[in-house]
Amino acid sequence: MSRISATELLPAKQRRATRIGLVAGGLAAYWPQFPELLPQLQRSSKYVTDRFTALDVEVVDVGFISDAQEAAVAAEKLRRADCDLIVIFLTTYLTASMVLPIAQRSKSPVLVIDLQPTEAMDHANFDTGKWLAYCGQCPVPEVANVFKRAGIEFRSVSGHLKDERAWARINRWVNAAKVRATLRHARHGLMGHVYPGMLDVSTDLTLVSTHFGSHVEVLEFDDLRVRVDEVTDTQVTERMNLARELFELDGSVREEDFAWGAKVSVGLDRLVEDFDLDSAAYYHRGLNGEQHERLGAGMILGSSLLTARGIPFVGEYELRTSLAMLAAHTIGAGGSFTEIQALNFFDDVVEMGHDGPAHLAVSERDPLLRGLGVYHGKRGYGVSVEFDVKQGPVTTFGIGQDRDGSYTFITSEGTVTPGPLLAIGNTTSRVSFGGDPGEWVDEWSQTGVGHHWALCVGHVAGDIHAAASLLGIEHRHVDMTELPKWR
């Protein structure tokens, strides 16, 4: 019998809603010439508003504009609203002077959409007024030209009102806005110190704030210690019972290690609540079984439960990967802590996974708690989470950092395939990228990604590309089908 899902047992963190600004427009000169045109365009505008309102976002609709003066009023309303994305619906031809101030004054990224009423005009029965309702595409090049001259990033989606292909592209931009909104307002915890020698993991905290708008809260392991010390026996028992609902317990799990992991888990929840954290990364080497070493070794259960709630809590001080996991969770793609484990050249797959925090939503089967005598390369022992990632499409998503300090979003899309997996307390998977796994490692490493990343369910590179655009950073994608033959 299937266990109760993590989403049923673990309350998701509630965050500020993503805010989408909406404005529709057309040219005032048409209204006295074609009296039926404006009401038709306003009906189209209402349909678009209703579609956005049905999404999991807060909609700020400033109405329909017909000239530059009304555009200026709308621009001021949207500026004050502090939107994560502004959508400008070109219902018919209008001048760029009506659109430019909205993009300039709001300082928010803008998406231009033009959705004509149906798939095509009824040419035999159309006059000029009816044609103009289909003329939203006409000003798109004009707006794009003016945006480029003004130094404003231009994005557009063209289609018709009930064109689900167009709405899929629009929804991709909405997902991107969700990532931007989450990262803009996020608070990331950083506890302990970098794993000695992991130069790729080292991250400039100032750049996290300047690139994304996030806050990084520097924590001490003692911040956790004092909270764990306050956990009661009753709370430990309750947390162990919760874990039994979510995990299968392997025979290797020792009761005392399980109880310690549960106690640390309750302390972690308090830490997250007290510091209002949206994600966190940690590492502490420890020595000879002292308290901080025991805390570091007891983190995996609690970190996995937090990650399932949308609060990635990752090991090895991997701040950038915690950001990637948070972004992936925001668009419903899970995001589990991952690195390369080995290559299988018989099956042409990359085997990847990691000990430590796992996102329970991406598990193919009931997750397992396994007792470990040692964590590879780290001190301590205890319980770890083990599962294989859902079979089907996946995306690897990492955040790289270049020589000039700039961040990059890095992706590759593959497929999890069935086959033998290591049973060592890791979240493991076999991923085919459609080519030689050795070549994939070479191409993936060329991007500047670190040696950890988020493994996401689904092919979501398009959403991540859009998010990079809204955040003003570069996106790099590895596609094995597009490699030059000479490589």
Q: Which tokens hold the place of 189? A: 């915890």
Per-residue pLDDT tens listing for the chain (487 residues): 345 566 678 888 889 999 999 999 999 999 999 999 999 999 999 999 999 999 999 999 999 999 999 999 999 999 999 999 999 999 999 999 999 999 999 889 999 999 999 999 999 999 999 999 999 999 999 999 999 999 999 999 999 999 999 999 999 999 999 999 999 999 999 999 998 999 999 988 999 999 999 999 999 999 999 999 999 999 999 999 999 999 889 888 999 999 999 999 999 999 999 999 999 999 988 887 788 888 988 998 999 999 999 999 999 999 999 999 999 999 999 888 999 999 999 999 999 988 767 788 788 777 888 887 665 555 556 788 877 788 999 999 999 999 999 999 999 999 999 998 877 767 788 999 999 999 999 999 999 999 999 999 999 999 999 999 999 999 999 999 887 765 5
Architecture in CATH of 19-182: 3-Layer(aba) Sandwich (3.40)
Alpha-carbon distance 98 to 95, whole Å? 6
Alpha-carbon distance 318 to 194, whole Å? 8
Contact 295, 285 (CB under 8 A): no
Q: Pairing mode, if any, of strands 427-432 and 349-354?
A: antiparallel
User: Cβ of 218: how many Cβ atoms within 10 Å?
Assistant: 10
Contact 297, 381 (CB under 8 A): yes
Amino acid at 392: G
CATH topology (fold) of 185-482: L-fucose Isomerase; Chain A, domain 3 (3.20.14)
pTM above 0.85, yes or no: yes
Q: Where in the chain is the domain with CATH 3.20.14?
A: 185-482
Q: Say how many CA atoms lie within 13 Å of 14 toward its Cβ.
A: 1
Q: Which tokens hold the place of 310? A: 């949308």
What per-residue confidence (pLDDT) applies to 9? 82
Alpha-carbon distance 247 to 429, whole Å? 18
What per-residue confidence (pLDDT) applies to 2? 47
State how far Cα 307 lies from the chain centre.
13
Residue-wise pLDDT for 289-324, tens only, equals 788 888 988 998 999 999 999 999 999 999 999 999
Alpha-carbon distance 355 to 425, whole Å? 6
Q: Where in the chain is the domain with CATH 3.40.50.10940?
A: 19-182
In a 10 Å sphere around its CB, with 0-12 CB exposed, 13-18 middle and 19+ buried, how is residue 229 labelled?
exposed
